[in-house]
A and B are shown apart, each in its own frame.
Chain A
Amino acid sequence: MAASYFDVDGTLIRTNLVHPTLFYLKNLRTPLESLGKLGRAALKTPEMILAELRDRRLFNEVLFSAYEGVSRDRVKVLSEEVYDKVIRPAMFPFAKELVARCRAEGQDVVIVSGALVEVMEHLARALGATHVIANNLEFKDGFATGRLLRPVVAGPEKARLVREHARTHGHQLDDCFAYSDSYSDVPMLSIVGHPAAVNPEPKLADLARTYGWPVLQLESQDKMPRKGALGAFFG
């Protein structure tokens, strides 16, 4: 049996890691607390941009530091709402059908995302995915420390986690599929037998063309995918 490994942001949904985080920060216990967190997050924007330019993992770490002090319950309770209000409306029209087709072929479908595991589990349920590999916040005494538990799911680490998942579940990587929109996921795409670029950013599109990887889009049939500047940057 084979497995399909799906990146999420920009691949299955048109949002990125920033949108759910903003939703969380806007919906803390009190408006004042939200305002404070949002203000601090805004101050960190230049740092996030620099981090993204250097390394996707660094970006994730800076972004999730905004969660510092948020309670575990709050993260869990709000995750369903984040899914309903941010993730679900942003899902690409053909995402569910593609996942369903993979399942129909008897494949395991694994979500591999830098987003929070609490939110990704809702997405996995909705899509019919079988496993989730996503980031976990570190909690101390029930409150987020602002750090991510190791391993941080991003960039080349995704490739290692996919390899480990395949080994654990008895999948031959040559038979497996991987889907992503981002050049930062080239390590993950490169280790499977059937990589595919989905709504790819230009750099990945070029690479996919060179290697003859399938380039597909999950938008509606007669509309090509469009990415805003923010989407292209954070995708």
Chain B
Amino acid sequence: MSHPSVVTLDKKSAPRTLFAGDMLVEVDLPPGTRCIYPKPPLASLKDPDAAIRYALNHPLNSEPLHAKLRPGMKVVIAIDDISLPLPPMRRPDVRERVLTIVLEMLSDHGVEDVEMIIATAVHRRMTAAEIKHAVGDKIFNAYYPDRLKNHDAEDPHGMKYVGTTEEGEIVELNKTAVESDLLIYVNLNLVPMDGGHKSVAVGLCGYKSLRAHHNPRVMRACHSYMDPTPKTSALAASVERQGRLTNKALNVFTIETTINNRMFDRPLEFLHKNEDDLTGFERTAMKALVRTLERVPQAARQAIFERVPAPYGMTGVFAGETEAVHKATLEKCFEQYAVPVKGQADVVVSGIPYISPYNVNSFLNPLLVQVMAEGYLFNMYRGQPLIKKGGTLIITHPCTDKFDKEHHAPYIEFVHNLLPETRDALELHKRYEEKFATNPAYIQMYRTGHAYHPAHPFYMWYWGEAGRQWLGQVIVVGADNEYIPKILGYKTARTMAEALSMAREKHGPSPEITCLRIPPIVIADVS
């Protein structure tokens, strides 16, 4: 018997409602299509503050946090950036909860020299308002901007060499963190790929360290980013080597938190549900939302989704030694996301939503559509890919040629100047990456503005590399132009019926079709 989150459609099934950026489209899928839904949200912790205190006092494979503290020491607290969770959660954010208790404990033990760093790596700097949302008013007012800062991976005086792994991977991290007596990392683990050694070794590093694993060679050797064990993911293996070296050199105390997948609050709560299980009122509300989104301008559509913070609930908190903590975190993550699925599909259909980790408070540009499709969506599996080798991925998205001119400034040149030259990731890496990633103008935008580092668009392309190597074709339904899908290497179809017909030409008259109904997050545990 299949899992309750796996539904097979029949003739009477209602149309499926898929995201297409910041719009929703209703599509008819043939009877026999398997539809995979996210699991219902896990129950959240009844008293998250008590759970945090318990975790700090009963850590895994480490002495309690209070035992590590002594008056006069320098403590640095690094926290995850705005790419987690998606969309930003209703206040208080779990970071605020954890920081409040940690700072109280530090103060009780006479630790006054405390600095906080947003572990952005080469992501854009968070704005003051975004930081305030994550850490809360009280902490923000007390620490920002002098003792609560964004990491700056390009500060010529702000990075420090820690060492080189046995595989030759350079570890260079934020100098303030390296020179601290104790580094506490406060993480929010949205997907299994987050957290663990990635927190410090990636979150506080720069281009020199990222080059070791953010490259096409390593990405091709990953068999699911969402199953981050050294055996299955060359990326995880490389980060683990850097992390172990880091933890030998630094005194690191890891705090990780997990959340459930209650992504949509009222009045959008029905977006979590199977279309066949909607009540009459919910069905009407869904139709009204679909029609409204069709008629309002893009800015209003984005506002409809962004104005309502997600009511995520905290499901777990673990503290102590990095690897022991992360093991517990991953178990909780998979408990929420993993849905057992039997067998692969010839064709996978999915909507691409309006948000990714890299466009919080901005537009999901074409390069990020690619990241969502061939990067995240393709990798939402454990065991083996949901889609067969050479299979067809059908996505719904307008692929609008639009970019946030500040956040994604280097993306524009990458998409319009480099991708028309070549889509070959190895070629892009070899010919263009270093020159582009050291562009002084883009680096200045990263350092003093709110732009992603110029290496980031390359990483976004590499992120899709495992999917590109595996998939036979990607078909976009509902693109508003031909140019962008062509640059990305995608085929286009006006309707889902046309896309399915194109898939049948490749896979025969009766392909096995699976619809992965995201968001919220679901990971197919494929056997």
| Interface, chain A (partner B; CB < 8 A) | 4, 94, 97-98, 100-102, 105, 107, 177, 179, 194, 196, 209, 212, 214-222
Listed A/B pairs (30) with beta-carbon separation below 8 Å: A4-B440, A94-B444, A94-B448, A98-B440, A98-B444, A101-B443, A101-B444, A102-B440, A179-B441, A194-B439, A194-B441, A212-B409, A212-B412, A212-B413, A212-B416, A214-B441, A214-B451, A215-B405, A215-B409, A215-B445, A215-B449, A216-B448, A217-B448, A218-B448, A219-B448, A220-B448, A221-B125, A221-B150, A221-B152, A221-B448
B518 to chain A, nearest CB (A): 31
A97:B441 contact, CB within 8 angstroms: no
Q: Is the CB of A216 within 8 A of B444?
A: yes
* A222 touching B447, Cβ below 8 Å: no
List chain A residues, Cβ under 8 A from B125: 221
A209 and B156 CA atoms in complex are apart in Å by 29
Per-residue contact bits, chain B 406-423, to A (CB 8 Å; 1 contact, 0 not): 100110110010000000
In the bound complex, residues from chain A placing their C-beta under 8 Å from that of B447 are 94, 221
Q: Is B442 an interface residue (CB 8 A)?
A: yes
Distance of A159 Cα from B525 Cα, bound (Å) = 61
How far apart sit A136 and B443, CA to CA, in the bound complex (Å)? 34
A97 to B145, CA, bound (A): 21
From 425 to 449 in chain B, residues with beta carbon under 8 angstroms from any chain A beta carbon are 438-445, 447-449
Q: How many residues of B contact A (CB 8 A)?
A: 26
Query: How far apart are the CA atoms of A212 and B448 in the complex, in Å?
Result: 18
Q: Does B19 contact A (CB under 8 A)?
A: no
Contacts of B405 in A (CB 8 A): 209, 212, 215
By the criterion CB–CB under 8 Å, are A196 and B441 in contact? yes
B128 within 8 A of A: yes
Q: Are B448 and A214 in contact (CB under 8 A)?
A: no
Chain B residues in 8 Å Cβ range of A214: 409-410, 441-442, 444-445, 451
State whether the Cβ of B403 lies closer than 8 Å to any Cβ in chain A. yes
Q: Are A177 and B444 neighbours in the complex by a CB distance under 8 Å?
A: no
A-B pair number, CB within 8 angstroms: 62
Residue-wise, chain B 126-170 has the 8 Å CB interface mask toward A (1 for contact) of 001000000000000000010000101000100000000000000
Q: In chain A, what residue has the closest Cβ to B451?
A: A214
Q: Which residue of A lies closest to B152 (CB)?
A: A221
Bound Cα distance A91, B440 (Å): 18
Complex CA–CA separation, A213 to B125 (angstroms):
19
Bound CA–CA A94/B440 (angstroms) = 12
**Contacting residues, chain B, for A218 (C-beta < 8 A):** 444, 448
Q: How far is the CA of A22 from the CA of B120 in the complex (A)?
A: 45
- Complex CA gap A206/B152 in Å reads 28
Residues of A within 8 A of B442 (CB): 214
- Expressed in whole angstroms, the Cα–Cα distance for A105 and B441 within the complex equals 12
**Complex Cα gap A216–B346 (Å):** 47
A177-B448 contact in complex given A222-B128, A222-B145, C-beta closer than 8 Å: no
Which of A215, A218, A219, A220 has most B Cβ within 10 Å? A215
